[in-house]
Structure formats: structure tokens, C-alpha cells
Amino acid sequence: MSGEHELVVPVKATERTVTQDDVERNDRDPSSPKITQPLSDAPRGKMEIEEKKDEDSIYWTPPELKKPFPFLHYPTIPFPDKLCGRRVPFKLVLVLLFAFSAAVTVVIVASELQFGSMDSTRVKDFLNNANTQYVGDGGLAFFFCLLLVWCSISGYFLLRTGDIDLFGFFHLLGPPGIGMLTQGLFTTDMNAVYWDGPKQTPGMYYTFGISIPLLTLGSGYLVYIAVSRNIQCQVLYDTISWGYFGAIPVTILKFGFAGVLEELGWSAVMFPQLLHATHSYIAASVLGGVVWGIWHVPLVIGGGYNNNINPFWAAFVLPWMTTAWAFFNVWLRVRSWSIWPVVVSHVAHNCWIELLLDPLVGRSEYRGLTKLAREKRAHYFVGEFGMLGALSYMVCAMVFVDELNGGWND
């Protein structure tokens, strides 16, 4: 028969949709009456229902990936051309925020020049009592070179495949594995890492670890919500109620596991080693924070860890945020002596974002991104990849630089 089917049926038969099965049946039986009705796909009704549901849903459905290098083709949210839909140009906002960042940097550097980290008795005590942990210049070079090789391998496969579950986990094993290997090869005292809890007032340090990320990040979200008027309580409920309210324990366990692994590399080894090498709280925080942020770049660009915004913007802002955040984490490490308050801070930071703050502006780890959040370009402003998140941690850094240099009463 010809490629186009000319079928004739009684008028009553035309009341129903002609499917592919009807065509095949007609082909097998040439004596059957022919129909003059257009052929339509059987699942069309189902597709129309799904399309209708998608139109009614508050959540945005991203397009499918089709290219071999996912990082170039992830569904990205365009850059804002206005501030949260208002007439303030986004470029002007960038200029003002970078000017503010420069001012904060000047204040931090001035504080360092005025006091100096070695004038801080807390830093002195930490370095003197943890002198057996220092791996020396050779150990530091070994740590950073091996970390670079490890990240290059995992980063290549992340960029090539976009498989963050497999190669992201391989990437995550780098800092703890290399950190413990460095400590074991270049020192004879693994206990110098100090595996116990805080020496004094542990409740205070754990409380700081939980509350400071919320207060710091929350201030940025409050500014954004006030300007954009984008607050979505329904998404917060959808997130918390996911899996019969299983989102809370699942999120804590997930980030708890990742936080312990990361901080075995950063707070247990890298930051103390940089303190020993530089004798400067600020230099150790800046250098360590930059390394910490750049380590995330393969995950951001290759693994899709970017909240659907432009991955190169996310890869720029995240090291900015981790560098500022490092000041607080190094403060926790020096003041408490222990890595565990820092682990709590890391886990709390991620959990507050995933379970409370991001859902309030329309992004749920378990439900997806809402159309309104995409329209408002929320995550160029808030969260780990937003300017306000980085700026909030810069203000936090000023506070704790002052405290470590004796600005607070003991």
C-alpha cells in the first residue's frame, strides 16, 4: 500500500480516534471499509494530559541533555538583565557589590597589618601545641600536587560524562585520602590532628557551627526576598514533606557523610598546615579557601552542581564564597582545637540551604526549580552561587578576624 493511508469508515466510527492498530488491522484485511480520517497517535490523549499538568505545575521542567559534553549544554537560567525583575540594571548591581567586596577586603587586610596573627595568643597556642602536626614545606607541596593530579583525573571524567554520582564520589575521596596520606608519610604523630572534641565549652562551638551559617546565609536571603518579593512557602512544605517527611534525615545523612570526608582533608590537614607555613590566620584562610573553592569547579562545570544557572558564573562565585567562609571555619578550628565543630558548620551550611533557605525562594532538591524562581533569577543572588551569599560571609569574616585578634572580651 502507499505511504499515506486513505481509510473509510462509517460516520459513527469517526467519533473515536484512529490509532496505529487500526491502520495495521486495515492493512491485513484489504476488504475492510476504508476511512477518510487523519491518523493520530494513540498516546496523544495521555500527552495532552501531561502537558496540561505541566502547565498547571509551579515547577519548571528543564530540557533533556543531548550533547556529549554535558557541562556545555546543561539547561541554564539566563543572566538577569534587571534586579529581580525591577529596573535596576544587573551590571550596576555587580559594580556596587564588587566595590563593597573591595572595601571589606581592605578592612580585613588593615586588621591583619594592625594586629598580626602572631600577636594573637590563640594562634600562638594552637601552633605551639600542634607543632608535631606540621608536615613541612615538602609535605605541603606533596599534598597540593597530589590533590591537583587527583582533581585533574576526576575532573576530566566529570567533564566528559557529567556523571556526578560516580565520578563526583571519586572526586570527594581526594581531600581526605590525600590529607591522611600526607599526614602519615611526613609525620609520626597522627594524634597531632587532635581527634577529640573541643577542649573547652564544646556547647558554644557547636552552637556557633550550627547558627552562624544560618545567620550569615539567612541575611542574604532576607535581602533578596525583600527586594524581589519572591517567597514560596509551598515549595518549603513540598521539600520537608518529601518521602513522608524523610527529607530531613536523608539530607542530614547525605551532607554529614560528605562534610566529614571533606573536612578530613581541609580542617584536619590543609588549614593547620597553612597556618604553620604562613604564621598568618588571614593568609591561611585565603589560600585554603581558594583551594577549597577551586576543588569544587569540576563538580560545578562538569557535574551540574550549579542550580541550573550559568556554570561559569557558579564556578566564579563559589570560590569567592568559600574563601570568605574559610575565615569562620579556621577560627572554629583554632579556638576549639577540634575538627568536629567545623564539620558541624559544614553540614549545617548545606542543610540550611537545602531544607529551609532555597525552598523559600523556589528551589527544592527533591521537587525541582519553580518557574517563578527561574523568572526571578534567584540563584544569581542567593545560595552558594549567589553574590549575596559571598558578601554575607565576607562580613562574617571581618567579625571573626577582629575576634581572633583580641577584639572581643575573653
Domain ranges, ordered by start, for the chain? 90-363+373-405
From CA 326, how far away is CA 285, in angstroms rounded? 5
Helix or strand holding residue 368 (H, E):
strand 368-369
Q: Looking at residue 31, what is its pLDDT?
A: 56
Where does the pLDDT of residue 41 fall: very low under 50, low under 70, confident under 90, or very high at 90 and above? very low
Helix or strand holding residue 396 (H, E):
helix 387-404
DSSP type of residue 140: H
* CA dihedral sign, ordered 221, 107, 92, 80: negative
254-263, pLDDT tens digit by residue? 999 999 999 9
Residue 183 CB burial class (10 angstroms; 0-12, 13-18, ≥19)? buried
Fill in the amino acid letter for 29: D
Residue 26 reports pLDDT greater than 70? no
Fill in the amino acid letter for 82: K
The structure's pTM equals 0.80
Give the chain's count of helices (H) and strands (E). 19, 2
From CA 247, how far away is CA 151, in angstroms rounded? 30
79-101, pLDDT tens digit by residue? 777 766 666 677 777 777 777 77
Fill in the amino acid letter for 141: A
Residue 109 reports pLDDT greater than 80? no
Which of 389, 366, 105 lies closest to 249, judged by CA?
Answer: 366
Where does the pLDDT of residue 248 fall: very low under 50, low under 70, confident under 90, or very high at 90 and above? very high
